[in-house]
Structure 1
């Protein structure tokens, strides 16, 4: 009897229980819901030679930045699938192995080819998508469109009630500027499976991009209590609520959310989220003119010291530079820039010169040398998208440019940038800043 995954693809396992546990574990993984590791472990106990269960477990380790465990587990999957696996399964495991072993460009190319044959292989389809997916971290400037194109290419293969595909298709459209359509798709996915952190996250993004900040805050306030704190997106979804508080001009509420959900001592998030969420929220507070309580920057620096010390991961490089600049560690920023320039010369930094430019601008902004900050950022503003992440995350860098223009006396340029932002989406914060310029 052929056993199938949740999207109808055959599984090489002799155990009905292992197949059932794999289906459940994969859905938990795809919804960023607690329990995925334990359920997949049950699948492996039921059939120790179930390669795809080992591969999914490796993916979970990689998400948690547990790289040694991820590499060991995917190696086990490769050994098993070589002697007991279909062509699809061998390709599936090989792609995950490339991604886990840091060969992202090869993993992306192999994933896209794989999906042309097996478009319903959702774990592989998930790899290029999302704010931290292979497209986002490819260093290209068109990754928002690339995600939409990939989803639309394969949409016909998915049912109208596939909660996972609706979520990621909707998020891709919202990030690419088609906010109303993206929000509608994401809302359908959310309604089909509320126990889905990726859907709550994507819907809050769509609301943010549409200027519906109050709705995003209400959504998060209603949904977050039902998501265990061990969930990897718990702190990050709370971060979105903190952005809403700043949008309303309420730094006290933003800091309360930071203390309760975001700071390193209270969150179980992925290291890339913890570093970026702490750095970007504290940087926003400082940049907007609000006081940052003593010790918060130092705590963020102490946590980040355990991760991303080696330059080359553009999104992390930028946030590590923000922390170093804010804590006065100019030498650390300059050393990271030097390493980035060496990588660029060797062709090893896909996002290119925009990364060291942002790091230099952060140093200038922290030193209150706003004219220099603006002079550095203006020429590369259109390239910031290449660092990856989401529009909400990258907006901090545009804020840096905007505030540098305002504070260096470039009122016309600042007003033009504000007009473009307000045309893109409503923002009470941008409206307040526009009023300051007009005055």
Structure 2
């Protein structure tokens, strides 16, 4: 019996199965494009290697191929007998995920890593702003994420993945200097770690370093395969930095080549949320957005997210429908909102509708309850600035400029010096 790269015993006696599994894990943790291929090679070398099948299922899930992912999980279950207790618990944790039980899966992850802190494929389920803690819908989830990665850090030593993933926890809780130092160490160990590059982009945003963020990400993305999981989202960061520094032609170039439905090869949730967000933030900054772009996004949202349930997605679905003037679709979101932050989705969706009607007081009234707990929507602070800036813009439309400036200075001071809202600079 071999051990994987992180020292966990794995039930395979085939060198190639272990080696390809380790490569698959490394690719997955770095948001590479070939994780599924490496896991497939692992189980080709040893068809009875259960965790190879689980790894393949996870990689397929993250590429949006749920039918294949479920088949891979079924295959894993057929060969789990005889595996270690850790491997069986590993499979059971992922089974909760595939059953659509995020609450149970989150609890299972937290329990599992107490005994097996270096079971990295399980640990990563709760890491990052896009993990099970990030999308828990709970107040205090940023502090919860920091506590989770802080507890894991001592078990990993000089590990590039752990450094990068802990760095984003630090970033989202305002510990920017620490985050930046740790990100640099992660990238020094693995310069092609897309997760760390992504988090460095976040840190530069939170520092107000738009020019530096733009230069860094434009250079880094050149060597990143556009099939990589984060290619579209990194393109969004570049488009956002371009908007903030006034390079509008570049903003549209990155939207069309990497962010929007025509250019992104990422998951639908990223294509939807990133595109809707950058279009609205462009409008807030005074950039005209052609109506056909909003119509395209409304149709995309209706195709991929016809029903509510994922609150972060629902927030942006409602935005797309409102800006496209599709009142019936918007009403469906308001009427049927469910999921981890449904109580916030409803007023936010109503606010988008009010904005589309230029009912600025109505927008302010509906945004206030959503702004009280924006972290519950999920996503990063940079993504949730969509709501902060919309509120500030609505105040300005009501002639309440001093209140708008004070609100931004108190809630998002990093944006107060050069507010990306037309008329507020």
Superimposed CA distance per residue, residues 355-410 of structure 1 (whole angstroms, 9 cap, x where no aligned partner) = 11111111111221111101111233121110101111111111111101111122
Aligned counterpart, 2:18 = 19
Kept after mapping to 1: 8 A contact 2:208/2:414: no
- Summarize the alignment of residues 135-154 of structure 1 with structure 2, pairs less than 5 Å apart: 135-154=133-152
Distance 1:151 1:104 in 2: 19
Distance 1:251 1:371 in 2: 30
1:260 maps to 2:250: no
Aligned match of 1:134 in 132, 135, 141? 132
Misfit runs of 4+, over 6 Å: none
Deviation, 1:421, is 4.4
Moved more, 259-268 or 320-329: 259-268
Aligned match of 2:287 in 281, 286, 290? 290
Kept after mapping to 1: 8 A contact 2:298/2:320: yes
1:166 maps to 2:163: yes
RMSD: 1.6
1:423 maps to 2:413: yes
Distance 1:7 1:17 in 2: 17
Aligned counterpart, 1:346 = none
1:72 maps to 2:62: no
Aligned counterpart, 2:53 = 54
Task: Identify if the C-alpha distance between structure 1 residues 336 and 263 changes in structure 2 by more than 3 Å, giving closer, same or farther.
Answer: same
Give the match's secondary structure for 2:419: helix
1:236 maps to 2:233: yes
Task: Identify if the C-alpha distance between structure 1 residues 266 and 381 changes in structure 2 by more than 3 Å, giving closer, same or farther.
Answer: same
Distance 2:305 2:65 in 1: 13
Moved more, 15-24 or 419-428: 419-428
Distance 1:430 1:320 in 2: 23
Aligned counterpart, 1:407 = 397
Distance 2:417 2:297 in 1: 28
Kept after mapping to 1: 8 A contact 2:291/2:324: no
Aligned match of 1:363 in 349, 353, 360? 353
Distance 1:239 1:153 in 2: 31
Aligned counterpart, 1:377 = 367
Give the match's secondary structure for 1:132: coil
Kept after mapping to 2: 8 A contact 1:211/1:426: no
Distance 2:61 2:303 in 1: 16
Kept after mapping to 2: 8 A contact 1:418/1:430: no
Deviation, 1:294, is 4.9
Kept after mapping to 2: 8 A contact 1:300/1:323: yes
Give the match's secondary structure for 2:79: helix
Aligned counterpart, 2:323 = 326
Moved more, 289-298 or 370-379: 289-298
Deviation, 1:424, is 4.6
Q: Which runs of 5+ in 1 are unaligned?
A: 344-348
Deviation, 1:309, is 1.5
Deviation, 1:431, is 9.1
1:218 maps to 2:208: no
How many pairs were matched up? 425
Q: Which runs of 5+ in 2 are unaligned?
A: none
Aligned match of 2:204 in 204, 207, 212? 207
Distance 1:283 1:431 in 2: 11
Moved more, 290-299 or 207-216: 290-299
TM-score w.r.t. structure 2 length? 0.96
Aligned counterpart, 1:34 = 33
1:63 maps to 2:62: yes
Task: Identify if the C-alpha distance between structure 1 residues 150 and 363 changes in structure 2 by more than 3 Å, giving closer, same or farther.
Answer: same
Distance 1:18 1:426 in 2: 53
Kept after mapping to 2: 8 A contact 1:211/1:425: yes
Kept after mapping to 2: 8 A contact 1:64/1:271: no
Moved more, 248-257 or 97-106: 248-257
1:309 maps to 2:299: no
Superimposed CA distance per residue, residues 191-214 of structure 1 (whole angstroms, 9 cap, x where no aligned partner) = 211111111111101111111111
Distance 2:351 2:379 in 1: 19
Superimposed CA distance per residue, residues 406-435 of structure 1 (whole angstroms, 9 cap, x where no aligned partner) = 111223421221212453566523598544
Task: Identify if the C-alpha distance between structure 1 residues 292 and 390 changes in structure 2 by more than 3 Å, giving closer, same or farther.
Answer: same
